[in-house]
Amino acid sequence: LLFSILNVGVGSTASELKADGKVLELDESNFDSAISSFDYILVDIYAPWCGHCKRLSPQLDEAAPVLAGLEEPIVLAKVNADKFTRLASKYDIDGYPTLKFFMHGVSMEYSGPRKADLLVQYLKKFVAPDVSILSSDSAINDFVEAAGTFFPIYIGFGLNETVVSNLAVKYKKKAWFSVAKDFSDDAMVLYDFDKVPSLVALHPSYKQQSVFYGPFEDTFLGDFIKQNLLPLVVPLNHDTLKLLKDEDRKIVLTIIADENEDQSQNLIKLLRAAASANRDLVFSYVGVKQWEDFADKFEANEKSKLPKMIVWNGDVEYLSVVGVESLDNEDQGSQISRFLEGYREGRTERKTVKGPSFMDFIHSLIGIRSVYIIVFIVAIMMLIQSIGKEDESVRDGSRGAVDGAESFGAESSRYRPEKKED
Residues catalogued as catalytic: 50, 53
Helix (H) or strand (E) holding 227: helix 218-227
Closest to 247 in 3D by CA, of 279, 221, 215: 279
Q: Contacts for 410-417 with beta carbons within 8 Å, 24 or more apart?
A: 412/372, 412/375, 417/47, 417/48, 417/49, 417/82
Task: Judge whether 45 and 7 are in contact, CB under 8 Å.
Answer: no
Task: Judge whether 75 and 23 are in contact, CB under 8 Å.
Answer: no
Residues 6+ apart with CB under 8 A from 396: none
Burial class (CB in 10 A: 0-12, 13-18, 19+), 268: middle
Task: Judge whether 206 and 231 are in contact, CB under 8 Å.
Answer: yes
Distance separating alpha carbons of residues 174 and 87, to the nearest angstrom: 28
- Cα–chain center distance at 375: 30
Closest to 177 in 3D by CA, of 189, 195, 163: 163
Question: What DSSP string describes 134-183?
Answer: E-SHHHHHHHHHHH-SSS-EEEEES--HHHHHHHHHHTTTT-EEEEESS-
Burial class (CB in 10 A: 0-12, 13-18, 19+), 169: exposed
